[in-house]
């Protein structure tokens, strides 16, 4: 039996201090896995429907309430402010992870962060962007 665990199997690191100390690639990868896990849990996806990190979240069933939930989780665990509309607007989960990875370098950039609003799209069809 193969007991080696891959990076994807491990629980992602969400500690801001630890993430700040890691190189950018590892930071993005860890945040990407965190985001995918959060979306899987929020949407209650069955195991055969994994989140595709190369695609936007709004094409994977994420609507306004789940985007807000994700915003709150990012704020709580990573201590950064990424608006729900920015989350929905990201062209992929990887891009969103990269944005988080860059913002996390600045300690506690919480409200009111004007950039968190200015680069976002405000509109959803309710359920979806």
Partner 1 sequence: MHLWLLRQPWTEPPGAPLQTGELDESERQRASAFLRPHDRLLYLTAHIALRRILAAYLDTVPGEVRLSRTSCPACGGLHGKPVMVGTPLHYSLSHTSGLALFGVATEPVGVDVEVLPSEETVEMCSPALHPDEQAELARYPSARRQLPFGRLWTRKEAYLKGLGTGLCRDLAADYLGRADDGPAPSAPPGWVVDNIACGSEHVNHVAAAAVVDGVSRPTNARWLPADCLYSAYSAELLGTDFRVGTKS
Nearer to partner 1, 27 or 100 (CB): 100
Nearer to partner 1, 21 or 121 (CB): 121
Q: Supply the minimum distance, in Å, between the C-beta of residue 57 and partner 1.
A: 10
How far apart are the C-alpha atoms of 23 and 56, rounded to whole Å? 24
Give me the residues that bind partner 1 (CB under 8 A), please: 42, 44, 49, 52, 55-56, 59-61, 63-69, 71-73, 83-85, 117-128
Burial 56-95 (b: 16+ CB within 10 A, else e): bbbebebbbebbebbbebbeebbbbbbbbbbbbbbebbbb
Nearer to partner 1, 27 or 79 (CB): 79
How far apart are the C-alpha atoms of 59 and 76, rounded to whole Å? 25
Q: Supply the minimum distance, in Å, between the C-beta of residue 90 and partner 1.
A: 13
């Amino acid at each position: 039996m193969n007991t080696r665990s891959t990076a994807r199997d491990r629980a992602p690191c969400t500690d801001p201090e630890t993430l700040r100390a890691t190189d950018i690639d590892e930071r993005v990868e860890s945040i990407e896995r965190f985001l995918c896990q959060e979306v899987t849990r929020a949407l209650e996806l069955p195991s055969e429907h994994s989140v595709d990190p190369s695609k936007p979240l709004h094409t994977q069933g994420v609507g306004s309430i789940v985007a807000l939930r994700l915003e709150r989780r990012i704020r709580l665990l990573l201590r950064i402010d990424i608006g729900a509309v920015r989350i929905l607007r990201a062209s992929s989960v990887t891009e969103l992870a990269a944005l988080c990875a860059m913002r996390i370098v600045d300690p506690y950039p919480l409200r009111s962060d004007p950039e968190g609003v200015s680069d976002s799209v405000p509109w959803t069809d309710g359920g979806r962007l």
